[in-house]
A and B are shown apart, each in its own frame.
Chain A
Amino acid sequence: MSKPTDLVQGTLDLLILKVIGLEPMHGWAIAQRIRLMSGDVLQVGQGALYPSLHKLEQNGWITAEWAISDNNRKAKYYTLTKAGRKALELETGQWERLSEAITQVVRAV
């Protein structure tokens, strides 16, 4: 099992931005979605998730508002901003270049 802390620096931010880009959601849902989408490989603990969320909010890439969740409780929902979408595109491009490069190196052997 890979822990988010083992992820390449900044990758968690990319994952969060990508997931929130699908629809506004709260912290717990973000963690669940990442787990599901990665086929249970990536498990994001709250210890890494929330500081990251607050940092992204501070960067102005996501905004937060309180709303009623699917289980009828108040939860903090995060939405991607315009700046966040731009950052997501940039990060995605970078990630693709990086992973491709790594794959090439690894396969070549």
Chain B
Amino acid sequence: MRHWTKFQLRLRSLFSRTAVENELDEELRYHVERQIDEDIARGMSPREARDPALREFGGYQQKKEECRDMRGLNFMENLLRDIAFAIRQLRKNLVFSCTAIFMLALGICASVAIFVFVDAALLKPLPYKNPSQLIGVFETGGNCPHCPLSYPDYLDWKKDNKSFTSLDVFSHAGFTVTTRAGAVPARGARVSDGFFKTLGVHPILGRDFYTGEDLPSAPRSAVLAYATWQRRFGGKTGILGQTVVLNGDPYTVIGVLPPEFHFEPAEPSEFWVSFHATNECDLRRSCHFLDGVGRLKTGVSFATAVADVKLIASHLEAEYPGSNKEQGATLVPLTDLIVGNVRPILLVLLGGAGLLLMIATVNVSSLLLVRSESRRREISVRAALGAGRTRLMRQFMAEGLVLVALGSVLGLAGASKLIRLLTALIPADLLAAVPFLNDLSLNAAACVFAGVIVLLSAVLFSVTPALRISLSGIAMGMAEGGRGSAGITWRSLGSKLVVLELATAVVLLVGAGLLGRSLALLLRVDLGLQPDHLATLYLTAPDARYGKDPQSIALERDVVRLMQNIPGVSSVALTTDIPVTHWGDTTWFRIIGRPWHGEHNDTPERDVSSEYFRTLGATLAKGRNFTEDDDKTKPEVVIVNQALANLYFPGQNPIGQHISGLSDPPKPIEIIGVVANIKEGPLDTASQPVLYFPFNQRPSDGFYVLVKTQQVEAELLPAMTSAVRQFDPDIVTIQQLSMADRIDQSQSAWIHRSSAWMVGGFAGMALLLSVIGLYGVIAYSVSQRTREIGIRMALGAQRESVHRLVLREAGVLTTFGIAIGLACSLAVAKLLRDLLFGVQAWDVPTLATVTIVLAIAALVAGYVPARRAAGVNPVEALRTE
């Protein structure tokens, strides 16, 4: 009640100002007149009575002010007036205001946008129950640090482990969906029955797999991803119980997953189907294709679990030496598995954006300092006219607040645009694998983050100039030409800020330089192939009609013929795995005629057609190529790459030697050629030994088709697809891409490219901002020293020496900035090492280039004010001051 009355009074004081003022006037006047009346009544003459009353009238305005203060009127009114005044001040100096607001907006925009990505990937918990208990489970073997498990191994691990409440497996699967319109491709995953229970995820519709539903005896069933349910089945609840045909097998739809569910290691997956161990690979202990995910028991440490699985692996190794020799075990927290790829780049980008924000705020505060310095007279005059120190400080705070408010509104608007732009820049394939980066926007967390930035910068921008007032004796500003200690104080503070800015810019520039050089080196990596004019696609044919070897070979010949019929095609080839993807799909071998103790020699295997190396533009270093006649009727042959020849046949000629699988007795395969290393795995990995077998000796009904042409390769892709489609509508084709695009969009290339460009962008802006900052400091210093320069010139100083004087100041600051920046960037580059390729943190060309670029930029920033200083007319300089 009382508070309400008080509030009403406040409102009245604020909004009915004239009425309140009039009342105040009237009240005070009544008092004076009553006093006069009283005095007259006591016998004074009207004149005598008037004097003391009027004397009191002299303090009339002051009394009114005190009353206003008591009503709490001044605070609100002053605030509004301060803000209005601040806006007027800022408008008067439009260049300054726009620069400051723009810089602030830039910093806020970059850091908030990057933060949204960091939040989505690294801060938001994964959409599972207690995600920290979830662990990725792998085998190790040969040169494969995170190998999948085989199904028989999985069953033993599940049975024998003491660390997990549950252990489940999943495997990527490519599906051909039979629809009324023909076969369409879809991605999916085969999972063991407890997969969703282990994750702690429940379908929003229907049910989860029941225990034992993944066994061959149970009917096949499928759980749909939410997006699949919406897109393919119109979001109808009637989908439950219906049948979908995947790879020719009928699956009953039993459930739909929640919309927020994602599981990066198996994405993109539309159909989550029960694992039915049926084919040869499923049942073979040496066929590794299952990734494990387990939930740790409470109280079991990660290290204990690692020891546990290693023990199981060693038991299996002893029990099944034929298949499990050298097969170890390893665990990775699921979180690392899911966000491990994007973590380094996101942290680097966040760091870059943070540094940019820092430069921007430092720059704005130093600009504010310069301005408060140039407004010394104004401040002194206002102080002399009765403005209190707090009142003056409040004025500066209002200006700071207005700047921050405008800057942050602009910055946030920019950030929401930038988020969309950055998402659009992620290739669709990559985005599908990191679904948590989809559909990002300015969420609550981002707003809190932005709020903290805004608050801190608001405090910084209000305090800096306010500090300036308390630094200087206010009255000193009135002294003619006064530039006492305050000017020097500011100059040293401003210089320190500029050194800080320059150092930060150096760090960003070095980072960008290192990342840029990494990218350049990465794109110049020797691929061992000619990626130009190569069109590629992947096709998979139904097993029922193409699964048998002669059928697959016939399919291969048909596909080659179809492609050759397309005008402009010069050669056609097939392979089971296309270059620049992975070093997986391995086989085991031994060399005949050498002692063998059961080692696996786990090595990537590719089954390629006879035209493969020619189409790819690879170089056959030794021996002969495959021919169409190298089929099952002929002795088995193999071509090895140079890395394999160097590793296993150092100083020998591998041609004519024989290798064998690990079968007993060995079946000899003759090495007929050595091919120069082809980059089968990601660009940033070293070459490994690879075995190439002729397609006709190891045929399959799913393979990549490569077409070399003289034309623009992308134009051939539709013709290639429709040729296959016309030949048999049940064959699905996916990944229609030129080889160059494949390399460009590969994860390693994309991560290096995006980090180089983004950090480069940040560095460019940082360079610009810090040079503006340097210019500001030098220009201010010159304006302060106009008289000194005038005297020097009057005493005979040459223009060159004045030039030198100013440039020396810029030079000293720049030298400090660069030196500190280089020292810091050595430390920062160590943090970058995950993203560096082929360059060291102390890469001399990069450091030298950055130094030169910054030195030149600083020279320009210093030259402009230096010219102005040298152009000073000594007579005028002395007269004006």
**Would you call B834 an interface residue if the criterion is a C-beta within 8 Å of the partner chain's C-beta atoms?**
no
Flag if B70 contacts A45 (CB, 8 Å): no
Are B70 and A54 within 8 A (Cβ)? yes
CB interface residues, B 38-63, toward A, < 8 Å: 56, 59, 62-63
Interface string of A52-94 (1 = CB under 8 A from B): 1011011110010010010101111000010100000000000
Closest A residue to B59 by beta carbon equals: A47
CB contacts (< 8 Å) of B9 on chain A: these are 57-58
Are the C-beta atoms of B37 and A27 separated by less than 8 Å?
no
- In the bound assembly, the distance between CA atoms of A104 and B71 in angstroms comes to 39
Interface residues of B in 1-57 (CB under 8 A from A): 2-3, 5-6, 9, 23, 26-28, 30-32, 34-35, 37, 56
Residues of B contacting A63 in the complex (Cβ-Cβ under 8 angstroms): 5
Contact partner of A51 among B2, B3, B35, B70, CB < 8 A? B70
**Taking A28-B34, A55-B70 as contacts, is the C-beta distance between A47 and B63 under 8 angstroms?**
yes
- Our pick among B26, B63, B67, B71 for the contact of A74 (Cβ within 8 Å) is B26
Are B5 and A46 closer than 8 Å at their CB atoms?
no
For B9, give the chain A residue with the smallest CB separation. Answer: A58
The smallest C-beta distance from B864 to any residue of chain A, in angstroms, reads 56
Report the separation of the CA atoms of residues A52 and B66 in the bound assembly, to the nearest whole angstrom.
9
A13-40 to B contact mask, C-beta < 8 Å, 1/0: 0000000000000111001000000000
In the complex formed, the residue of A with least CB distance to B69 is A51
Using Cβ atoms and an 8 Å threshold, which residues of chain A touch B235? none
Docked-complex contact B56 and A73, CB < 8 angstroms: no
Q: Check B340 for interface membership: any CB of A closer than 8 A.
A: no
Q: Does B72 contact A (CB under 8 A)?
A: yes
Interface residues of B in 133-155 (CB under 8 A from A): none
B30 touches A75 (CB 8 A): yes
Query: What are the residues of chain A within 8 A of B3 when measuring CB–CB?
Result: 60
With beta carbons under 8 angstroms apart, the residue of B26, B62, B70 that contacts A58 is: B70
Taking CB atoms, residues of chain B closer than 8 Å to A71 are 34, 37
Tell me whether B6 and A58 are in contact (CB under 8 A): yes
A46–B62 alpha-carbon span in the complex (Å): 11
Known contacts A47-B59, A51-B67, A73-B30; A60 and B23 CB within 8 A of each other: no
What's the minimum C-beta distance from B362 to chain A, rounded to whole angstroms?
43
Say yes or no: B67 contacts A54, CB within 8 Å.
Answer: yes
The interface centre, meaning the residue of B31, B32, B63, B67 with most chain A CB atoms within 10 A of its CB, is: B31
A58 x B72 contact (CB < 8 A): yes
Nearest CB of B to A73, in Å: 7
Q: Which residues in A have their C-beta under 8 angstroms from that of B56?
A: 45-47
How long is the Cα–Cα vector from A75 to B28 in the complex, in angstroms?
Answer: 10
With the chains together, A96 CA to B34 CA distance in Å? 33
Query: Considering the chains assembled together, what is the distance between the CA atoms of A74 and B70 in angstroms?
Result: 23
CB-nearest residue of chain B to A26: B30
A51 touches B63 (CB 8 A): yes
Contact B30 A50 (CB under 8 A): no
For chain A, the bracket of interface size reads 20 to 34
- Per the bound structure, the CA–CA distance linking A59 and B28 in Å amounts to 21
Number of A-B contacts (CB under 8 A): 65
**In the complex, which residues of chain B have a beta carbon less than 8 angstroms from the beta carbon of A57?**
9, 71
**Is B35's CB under 8 angstroms from A28's CB?**
yes
* Whole-angstrom distance between the Cβ of A79 and the nearest chain B Cβ: 13
Give a binary string over B763-801; 1 marks a CB under 8 Å from any A CB, 0 the rest. 000000000000000000000000000000000000000
CB neighbours of B28 from chain A (8 A)? 46, 50
Task: Give the interface size class of chain B.
Answer: 20 to 34
Nearest opposing residue in chain B for A30, CB measure: B31
Q: A26-B30, A83-B2 are in contact. Are A58 and B59 (CB under 8 A)?
A: no
Task: Name the distance in Å between A21's Cβ and chain B's nearest Cβ.
Answer: 17
| Chain B residues near A66 (CB-CB < 8 A) | 23
Chain B, Cβ-Cβ closest to A70: B34
List the B side residues contacting A55 at CB < 8 Å.
70
Are the C-beta atoms of B66 and A28 separated by less than 8 Å?
Answer: no
Chain B positions within 8 Å of A47 at CB level = 56, 59, 62-63, 66
Residue of B nearest to A66 (CB): B23
Interface-centre pick from B56, B66, B70, B72 (highest chain A CB count, 10 A): B70
Note all chain A residues with C-beta closer than 8 A to B32: 46
A71 to B27, CA, bound (A): 15
Residues of B within 8 A of A31 (CB): 31
The answer to whether A46 and B23 touch across the interface, beta carbons within 8 angstroms, is: no
Partner of B63, one of A26, A28, A46, A58: A46
- The proximity string for B residues 70-110 relative to A, scoring 1 for CB distances below 8 Å and 0 otherwise, is 11100000000000000000000000000000000000000
In the complex, how many angstroms separate the beta carbon of B375 from the nearest chain A beta carbon?
Answer: 33
Residue of B nearest to A63 (CB): B5
Q: Is the CB of B6 within 8 A of A50?
A: no
Which of A26, A27, A59, A76 contacts B6 (CB under 8 A)?
Answer: A59
Contact assessment for A50 and B27 in the assembled complex, using a CB-CB cutoff below 8 Å: yes
Asked if A50 contacts B63 (CB within 8 A), the reply is yes
- Shortest distance in angstroms between B33's beta carbon and chain A's nearest beta carbon? 8
B149 shortest CB reach to chain A, Å: 76
Q: In the complex, what residues of B have CB within 8 A of residue A50's CB?
A: 27-28, 31, 63, 66-67
Q: How far is the CB of A64 from chain B (nearest CB, A)?
A: 9
How distant is A80 from chain B, measured CB to nearest CB, in Å? 13
Q: How far is the CB of A71 from chain B (nearest CB, A)?
A: 7
Q: How far is the CB of A27 from chain B (nearest CB, A)?
A: 5
Q: Looking across the interface, which residue of chain B has its beta carbon closest to that of A75?
A: B30
From the candidates A60, A76, A83, name the one contacting B27 in the complex (CB within 8 A).
A76
- In whole angstroms, what is the CA distance A31 to B56 when docked? 15
Q: How far is the CB of A53 from chain B (nearest CB, A)?
A: 8
> How far does the alpha carbon of A76 sit from the alpha carbon of B5 in the complex, in Å?
18
Most A Cβ at <10 Å: residue of B27, B32, B35, B63: B27
Q: List, in ascending order, chain A residues with CB within 8 A of B69's CB.
A: 51
Q: Do B31 and A46 touch (CB < 8 A)?
A: yes
Which residues on A sit within 8 Å (CB–CB) of B37? Answer: 71
Tell me which of A57, A58, A81 has the highest count of chain B C-beta atoms within 10 A of its own C-beta.
A58
- Asked whether, in the complex, the Cβ of A51 is within 8 Å of the Cβ of B66, the reply is yes
Interface residues of B in 742-763 (CB under 8 A from A): none
Q: Which residues of chain A are within 8 angstroms of B23 by Cβ–Cβ distance?
A: 66, 76
Known: A27-B31, A46-B56. A60 touches B67 (CB 8 A): no
Is B67 in contact with A27, judged by CB distance below 8 angstroms? no
Contacts of B6 in A (CB 8 A): 58-60
Contacts of B59 in A (CB 8 A): 47
Q: Which residues of A contact B66 (CB under 8 A)?
A: 47, 50-51
Q: How far apart sit A51 and B37, CA to CA, in the bound complex (Å)?
A: 23
Which of the residues B26, B30, B67, B70 comes within 8 Å of A28, measured between beta carbons?
A: B30
Contact A58 to B71, CB < 8 A, known contacts A45-B56, A50-B63 = yes
Chain A min CB distance to B61 (Å):
12
Residue among A28, A69, A75 with max Cβ neighbours from chain B (10 Å): A28
Enumerate chain A residues within 8 angstroms of B67, measured Cβ to Cβ: 50-51, 54
Separation of A76 and B23 alpha carbons in the complex (Å): 9
What separation, in Å, do the CA atoms of A46 and B28 have in the docked complex? 8
B7 nearest in chain A by CB position: A60
B31→A28 contact, CB < 8 A = yes
Select from chain A the residue with minimum beta-carbon distance to B13: A58
Distance to closest chain B CB from A55 (angstroms): 4
Instruction: Give min CB distance, A74 to chain B, whole Å.
Output: 7
The smallest C-beta distance from A48 to any residue of chain B, in angstroms, reads: 9
* A99–B59 CA distance with the chains assembled, in angstroms: 33
| B residues near A28, Cβ cutoff 8 Å | 30-31, 34-35
Smallest CB separation, A25 vs chain B (Å): 12
A60 to B4, CA, bound (A): 9
Q: Using Cβ atoms and an 8 Å threshold, which residues of chain A touch B35? A: 28
In the complex, chain A residues whose CB is within 8 Å of the CB of B34 = 28, 71
Whole-angstrom distance between the Cβ of B16 and the nearest chain A Cβ: 14
How many Å from the CB of B71 to the closest CB on chain A? 5
Given contacts A66-B23, A74-B26, 19 further A-B contacts (CB under 8 A): A26-B30, A28-B35, A46-B56, A46-B63, A47-B63, A50-B67, A51-B69, A52-B70, A54-B67, A57-B71, A58-B6, A58-B9, A58-B70, A58-B72, A60-B5, A60-B6, A63-B5, A71-B34, A71-B37
Task: Please name 7 pairs of A and B residues whose Cβ atoms are closer than 8 Å in the assembled complex, sorted by A.
Answer: A46-B56, A47-B62, A52-B70, A54-B67, A54-B71, A58-B70, A76-B26
